[in-house]
Amino acid sequence: MKIGYARVSTTDQNLDLQISALEKAGCDIIYKEKKSSVKERPELEKMMKYLRQGDQLVVWKLDRLARSLSHLLSLIEEFRKRQVDFICLTNNIDTTTPMGICFLSIVGAFAELERNLMIERTNAGLAAARERGVQLGRRKGLTEDRKIVAKAACDLYKQKMTSDDICQSLKISTATLYRYLRTGKVKLRENPGRPKKEWKS
């Protein structure tokens, strides 16, 4: 199924140009976002829940989909993992073609590099904290070194890294990871997939 996503950043902008292009591209469903906030995108969240393996996501322009480069990388990496094709009309990106597959590989490499750099910065921060004589162990609230790990855990989770990979990279337990996510008020991911169709007798 071809699924389109259109967005304008303010309520006084018009979606017609994007919708016309998406309809011309053959989209069966178009999610229309008309919000001024970059953080709140209910239509994007609905679309991500609706996507399933074999679907094609079509956008008019890259900046209509993502709020930043890191957000774009994480979204495209998620599409790759879920085997959802990605098409951007004005930027000539189509992951159903050999060149598009090459683009996905490059994006995946950059996403992995970003995660590795984040882990490296976390380990460097921990080492620096220990050199300053920060005491390890439990006390009320998080110690300085645990705050560094907690922030990294939340950031990696937002980057769509799996819970197992985060725990392995940061050497923490699953229970600790989810405690950090609750403390950081990070919204937990839901299982992807399209709701089953209800059949009427």
69 versus 60: the higher-pLDDT residue is 60
* Domain range 2-96, CATH architecture: 3-Layer(aba) Sandwich (3.40)
pLDDT confidence of residue 168: 86
For domain 112-183, the question of CATH label 1.10.10.60 is answered with yes
Q: Which tokens belong to 65?
A: 């989909």
Structure tokens at 70: 């890191």
The residue from 9, 163, 169, 173 that is catalytic is: 9
User: What is the predicted pLDDT for the residue at 61?
Assistant: 87
Domain with CATH 3.40.50.1390 in the chain: 2-96
Distance CA 7, CA 19 (A): 9
- Average pLDDT for 165-170: 86
CATH 1.10.10.60: which residues of the chain?
112-183
Count of other CB atoms within 10 angstroms of residue 130: 13
DSSP 2: E
Active site residue 9: yes
